Structure formats: structure tokens, C-alpha cells
Amino acid sequence: MAKRILILSDVTLGFSVPQIHLLARSLAASLEAETLIVEPDMKGRRDFAAIEGVRVVRISTRMPPHHPVFVIEYARAARRIYREFSPDILVVLNAGLLPPLLLEAHRPAVVIYYMLESLDHQMVHGGALFYDLNRMAANQIDLVLVPERRRFYFDKSRLQWPDIPVIEVLNVSPPDPGTVEPARTGCRFLYAGTLSREGGMDFLLDERLRDLEIDVVGPIDSAEARNFVARLTAPSEGGRKRYLGLVPHSQVLRMLPRYSYRIVVWKAESLNSYFASPNKFFESIAYGVPPVCTPNPQILDIARKYHCALVAKDWGLDSFCHVMADAMWISGTSTYDQLVANCTLARQAEINWACQFEKVQAALDEVLARRSRPRAAAPQARRRPAAK
């Protein structure tokens, strides 16, 4: 039975990766293990959420995450903690967190690679180094968790990885929001998350959406985002669109039931965005707020299976404007009520953490059982008969 679990993250988890908190809590409870999360202390993202049964350590660095200096500085700090903590189970989230495993003599009983980001996305920040680190660690990884299985198969082929057990863990977030009582008036849309062109922020400025009420939440961390917010909130827009700032994830979840829809856009401009598995898509379904989406493969799978979302025909602006018009048109009708009801059915059937963790638990039990089996004795070589 494992006694110590170490989870290494290169971002502050409470803002962008809430399901890791759920994984940490579930592992700690199911294995009765001392569990530690190590994450950077990111400027502007200081909101701290306590996790039952889990200790969180934040490391201050001179440079922000993804900077080349940060990668080295953070890996050194993580290596020191790894050496002192000596984990039985190690969970890493990307290549930049593999050096402690590669450099230290201690070998955990189980190494889980929660590959949240695609190889392409990792290499944007780490280049060929991150490709090499992924290759070097392949034989030490016991279980891979991925949010989108089709994206992983591309990456596995490029990395020439062996057949490591892989589990698709949908990016569900809230453990169970319980009975959500909508407080919706009129038809208002929420766009919360990354403010980027790849995430469709430029779509919101189209003249055809001028009369729609849209609230925007997210970090202004680029010149592109600042320009977008300035245009979105300009007096010429008529005051129907609002920028509400950067708010903690917990507050976004409290806000969700006020809205009729949530906008979920990832343009098919890269392998990473094409095979998107958006947290916000699954959060919206869990809270009974139908998403208005682009047709990324996993989104399309869920929408077709449960009829709980409105999906554009393609990734173009025209299709997005059409599906937004459809959303406006059915708001307040029995068709909309059925969409909300179908969100509840999807949450009960699959879009919940208990369902996702069952898959992880089964795979982890198998790995631990395999580790505990005694190895068969090597066959003894037959002795040659003595020469006459």
C-alpha cells in the first residue's frame, strides 16, 4: 500500500487545472496516503484552496512559468523536494517535471504521467529539450492519463513510446455541484477562460453579435487581450458586453447558473486546439448551462451522445454566429428546457468525477498488483553432459 504521493505541477492548479485537486484528494483517500502537491507561486494567481487530506507547497521563482530560466530553477527545487519526500507514487504533468525522476536514484513504485497538454504545446515552451525528456522517461512511466485519447495517439507515435497503459480522463471539474437552481433572466452568455484568438475571443466582436449580452472573464496577459477588452467594452458596443476581470475558478462556478449559455470555442489551428478537451465545456454541462461550441471531436462526441450542447457546423465565424443566433432563438422555450435536462442526464451518466476516477482506480490497482507479484525465477541453464 502506498504511503506517499507526490504531484508535481508547473502551474498554480486552483485556477486552470481543478481536476488535479480532485485527483489528489481521491488518491489520498483511496490509498490512505500522505499526499503533497508542489506548484509555482504565480503572480496574480494567489487564490489558495485547501484540499482535504492534501498538503500544497508553493515555490517562488524569479521568472514566471514556461520561461527557460523558470524551467531550470523550478526543476532544481522540485528535485530537492522529491529527494526529501521519497514518494511511492509520483504524478507529473509534463516533460519539464521529469528531471527529478530521471536524475535521482529513488524509483517510485508507480509513476503516473497526467499528460494534460499535447507534445506540440509542451514544445512551444521547452523545445527539443521537452521532446527528449519525454523520450528519456518512457521506460519509467507506468500509467498515462490523458484528457483526449486521439490526441495522445499522435503524440505516442511521434515519441515512439512503448505500449504504456493509457486512460482517457475527461476534464470534468466539480465533484458534484448538487442541485443547481438557475437564476437566469433573459438570455446572457458567459465567455470565461483564456483570452486568445485561438480561443475565439475575436468572434465576440463581430457586428452580428452586437445585440447579444455577453460577459467575459479571464486574464489580460497580452497586448492582444488588452486590445480585445478595450474594443469589447467600448461605448460603441452599446453596453451589452462586459468584462468582469480575472476571478478565481470557484467564483466562476458560483456565477455559472446565472447564465443561459457558456461559449466554448477552440479553433482548429493546431493539433492541441483541434483535439481540445475544455474544462469549461464539462463544467457547463455539470451546472446545467448548455455550452455553445465549436465541433472539436470530443465535444462533438459528447454533444451527439447526450444532446446537451449547441455545436457549430464548422470552425468558421459564420457558423459561430449562426449557432449563437440559434441559442438566442430557443432561449426560454421547451427546446431549451430539454437541453438543460439533458445536461443533468449527462452529468449523472458520465460527466462527473466519481465516474472518471473509477477508471483511474482500476488501472492503478492493476499496476500495483503487477508490482507486487513475485517474479518468476529465471530458468536454469541445462548442464552439458560431461565429455567422454
CATH number, domain with residue 81: 3.40.50.2000
220 in Cβ contact with 229 (< 8 Å): yes
- In this predicted model, what pLDDT tens digit does every residue of 261-314 receive, in sequence order? 999 999 999 888 999 999 999 999 999 999 999 999 999 999 999 999 999 999
Residue 262 lies in a domain: yes
Tell me, yes or no, whether 138 and 206 share the same domain: no
- Considering the domain boundaries, does residue 253 fall inside one? yes
What percentage of the chain has pLDDT greater than the value 90?
69
Say if 48 falls within a structural domain: yes
Write the burial class of residue 356 (CB in 10 Å: 0-12 exposed, 13-18 middle, 19+ buried): buried
Interval 342-364: pLDDT, tens: 999 999 999 999 999 999 999 99
Report which residue type is found at 241. K
Question: Average of pLDDT values for 21-26?
Answer: 91
Mean pLDDT of 172-195: 81
Q: Are residue 128 and residue 167 in the same domain, yes or no?
A: yes
Question: Same domain for 319 and 357?
Answer: no
| Structural domain count of the chain | 2
Kindly state whether residues 21 and 163 are assigned to the same domain. yes
CB 98 within 8 A of CB 71: no
In a domain, 105, yes or no: yes
pLDDT value at residue 45: 56
pLDDT higher than threshold 50 for residue 378: no
Contacts 24+ apart (CB under 8 A), 229-233: 229/195, 231/205, 232/204, 232/205
Q: Quickly state the pLDDT bin for 210 (edges 50, 70, 90).
A: very high
CA distance 217 to 254: 13
Quick one: which H or E segment has residue 40? strand 34-40
Verify that 206 and 297 share a domain, yes or no.
Answer: yes
Instruction: Provide the angle, in degrees to the nearest 10, between the axes of the packed helices 334-349 and 297-306.
Output: 110
If one compares 294 and 172, the residue with the highest pLDDT of the two is: 294
* For residues 326-338, average pLDDT: 95
Angle (CA) 332-337-341 rounded to 5° is 155
Range from 49-53, 56-60, 126-130, 362-366 carrying the lowest mean pLDDT: 49-53
Residue 359 sits in the same domain as residue 343: no
Residues 340 and 367 in one domain: no
Range of the domain at 120: 4-171+353-372
